[in-house]
């Protein structure tokens, strides 16, 4: 493999695509803050790109019950199915599992005087929210997400 081919592969990331039911190698999506702010609303940019948090109980998807898929607002990656959504009582949309572990990644978040596990979109590194170990079976996880980081597509 040439160095050019190897460099191109470094920019690819395996993502599970719900529509095809397969893992596909997709380009990482990288943009400058200026490029992101041109395509996102102020709230979306502040939350997805700057790791903000929206107010509880007043966001778009916390009490939303349509059937479909939640995608990353920045790059469109399939993130969560409505089938994994549950009412957590926290004021944010909560899921017990992502569509695929390939599509999200986690990192330690020590901001705000707390230690939490931050959830990011694997493809574009958008901040989605946090995951906690107090969810329902079968995973006992609670992916507590920001509505502003998600775009819903109805089945």
* CATH numbers and ranges of domains, the chain: 3-154 (2.170.150.20)
Contacts of residue 77, Cβ cutoff 8 Å, sequence gap at least 6:
15, 26, 71, 103, 121, 122, 123, 124
pLDDT for the residue numbered 70? 98
Per-residue DSSP letter, 100 = -
- pLDDT tens digit string along 13-72? 999 999 999 999 999 999 999 999 999 999 999 999 999 999 999 999 999 999 999 999
Q: In the structure encoding, which two tokens stand for residue 76, read together?
A: 């469109």
Structure tokens at 29: 């999506």
- What mean pLDDT do residues 89-96 have? 97
Catalytic site residue from 72, 74, 75, 144 = 144
pLDDT band at 124 (very low <50, low <70, confident <90, very high): very high
Whether the pLDDT of residue 149 is over 80: the answer is: yes
Determine the 3-state secondary structure of 105 from DSSP. Answer: strand
Backbone phi, psi, residue 92, to 5°: -125, 155
Active site residue 144: yes
Least confident of 2-6, 29-33, 89-93, 143-147: 2-6
Q: What is the value of pTM for the model shown? A: 0.92
Q: What pLDDT sits at residue 55? A: 95
């Amino acid at each position: 493999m040439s160095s050019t081919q190897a460099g191109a592969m470094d920019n690819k990331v395996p993502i599970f695509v719900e529509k095809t039911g397969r893992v596909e190698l997709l380009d990482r999506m990288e943009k400058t803050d200026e490029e992101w702010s041109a395509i996102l609303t102020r709230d979306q940019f502040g939350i997805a790109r700057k790791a903000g948090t929206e107010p509880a109980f007043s966001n778009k998807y916390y009490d939303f019950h349509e059937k479909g898929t939640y995608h990353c607002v920045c790059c469109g990656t399939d993130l969560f199915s409505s089938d994994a959504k549950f009412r957590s009582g926290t004021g944010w949309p909560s899921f017990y599992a992502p569509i695929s572990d390939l599509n999200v990644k986690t990192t330690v978040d020590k901001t705000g005087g707390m230690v939490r596990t931050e959830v990011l979109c694997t493809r574009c590194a958008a901040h989605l929210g946090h995951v906690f170990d107090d969810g329902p079976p079968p995973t006992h996880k609670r992916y507590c997400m920001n509505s502003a980081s998600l775009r819903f597509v109805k089945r």
